[in-house]
Amino acid sequence: MGKHSKNNNDRPFFSNAERKAAAYGRHASSMLGGHNTGANFTEWGWGTETRTLDSDSMKDIDACSLTLQPCATPLVSPSGVLYDKQALIEYILARKKEIERETKAWEAQQQSDERTVQAAAAATQQSRIEEFVAQQEGLSQADLRARAAAAVGSASSSSGGGGSGSSKSVVSAAYMGRVLLSDQGKHAADTSFWAPSQTPDAKHRLEKPDSVVRCPITNEPLRLKAMLEASFTPAQEGDEHEALVGKAANERYICPLTKKALSNVNPACVLRPSGKVVSLACVKDFIKKDMIDPFTDPPTKLKEKDIIELRCEGTGFAARTKESALKVTTAKPYGF
């Protein structure tokens, strides 16, 4: 064999060190410092556990959480998730139909389970009755098997007609009936394992579906009446939705107080009384000092729950990206 046959991971078996490397990290003495311990394997991995996504993978601050497009009629949830009204209504209706379909399938499964239990109980009761009758008549188990074989033979003769051929079929059927009835061991079901009726099947159990439509982002109950209509201030007065879609994210809307562009770099909040969208810096520097909504007439006193911070996914830079990005879990062998 050549020298390359001594390479790592080139053996016909999986060593303990290679299993640890596959479970935890690289198998390299230079990276592990010469110590192939479990702690070092945990320290260094074949791949990172998390990955920082770039700005192309981040949703814009004014984009719908369902369509990922700028909202025509923006609605914000109490937890700060932004939706487009039309997309939200379509999503709620689609989820209700899906929940109804899943509920019907689960109810059918429950009815099937109930029928199976009833059939098993009826079979058990019938076997007890037959055993009781046999005891009353003084019959043994051999007599019961012979009676069952005779019943199988009589059924075959009635269906096949007279003649020597039918008598042979009766004898063979009776014999096979005795053989099958006598085979009551643990391997009785494996006598014809190649038959489709004897092949094992993996039954897929349905869980009881949740009857509540939930937010796909926060998994909280999603109610249309709990949504608040948000009012963005266009960067240029008179711009319609069609004109705003073609612009960059930092050129669509501005804060009505500071006149700074709203984007993932400059997060925003929604004031519940007026529905106005202002920058988070403006809320911290000005609005929270007096806790008054300046866009209502007369100005309305604010509470902490009246200031809803919009969810911001970040900019792609590690310092500003709050999301844990893409979670990548390593495939570990069994037992690790």
- Give the tens place of pLDDT for each residue, 225-275: 999 999 998 887 766 666 666 667 667 888 999 888 888 888 899 999 999
Give the residues of the chain that fall short of pLDDT 50.
26-49, 161-182, 325-326, 328, 331-336
Residue 239: the pLDDT is 60
Residue 150: the pLDDT is 72
Q: How far apart are CA 282 and CA 117, in angstroms?
A: 66
Residue 132: the pLDDT is 82
Residue 41: the pLDDT is 44
Torsion of CA 297, 299, 304, 309, to 10 degrees: 50
Residue 115: the pLDDT is 94
Q: Is 243 strand, coil or helix?
A: helix
Place of tokens 């009857």: 211
**7-39 pLDDT per residue, tens:** 666 777 777 776 666 655 544 444 444 444 444
Place of tokens 């993978």: 57
Q: Is 242 strand, coil or helix?
A: helix
Residue 156 and residue 169 in contact, taking contact as beta carbons nearer than 8 Å? yes
Residue 316: the pLDDT is 62
Residue 110 and residue 259 in contact, taking contact as beta carbons nearer than 8 Å? no
Q: Helix H segments across 7-78?
A: 16-23, 29-32, 38-43
Q: Cα angle at 61 between 256 and 55, to 5 degrees? A: 130
Place of tokens 């949830």: 77
Residue 251: the pLDDT is 76
Residue 169: the pLDDT is 45
Task: Of 251, 260, 255, give the one whose Cα is nearest residue 233.
Answer: 255
